[in-house]
Amino acid sequence: MDIVAIVLQSLLAFAFLFSGISKVAGVKMQVESFNHLRLPQWFRVITGLVQLISVAALIIGYWEPSWTAAGALLLSLVAIGGFLAHVRVGDPFKNDVPIVVLGVIAIVLFFLRLSELSSFPGFN
């Protein structure tokens, strides 16, 4: 299962690294997306920062697996929030497929590394 977890971890880190950077940098597509979702621009920046913190946790997780569980949990929450934001404005499901897929991957990764979470700093 370690290979599966590492592949999922790498996929999530790659996807959310670029997503987080584009949100924090204020890329036009992200600004327009948050306007469409009727969310304030400061929330775009916060969302991007949470994504980047989660990516950092996933990267640390290559050496300390408990960090993978924490990063995956954060990304799961981001994905759920993103999905709900799209539902709130009535977007068709086809617009939600990417965030749903990434959210499912994050949830699977979280459960693959859940047993490691007890060794996360501060949980002892």
124 is a domain residue: no
* Collapsed DSSP state (helix, strand, coil) of residue 84: helix
107 is a domain residue: yes
Q: What whole-number distance in Å separates Cα of residue 80 and Cα of residue 99?
A: 8
Number of domains composing the chain: 1
pLDDT digits (tens, 9 = 90+) for 79-118: 999 999 999 999 999 989 999 999 999 999 999 999 888 8
Cα separation values, 20 from 25, 30, 48, 101, Å: 8, 10, 4, 17
- Expressed as residue numbers, the domain containing 21 is 2-117
pLDDT digits (tens, 9 = 90+) for 39-49: 999 999 999 99
Q: What whole-number distance in Å separates Cα of residue 99 and Cα of residue 64?
A: 26
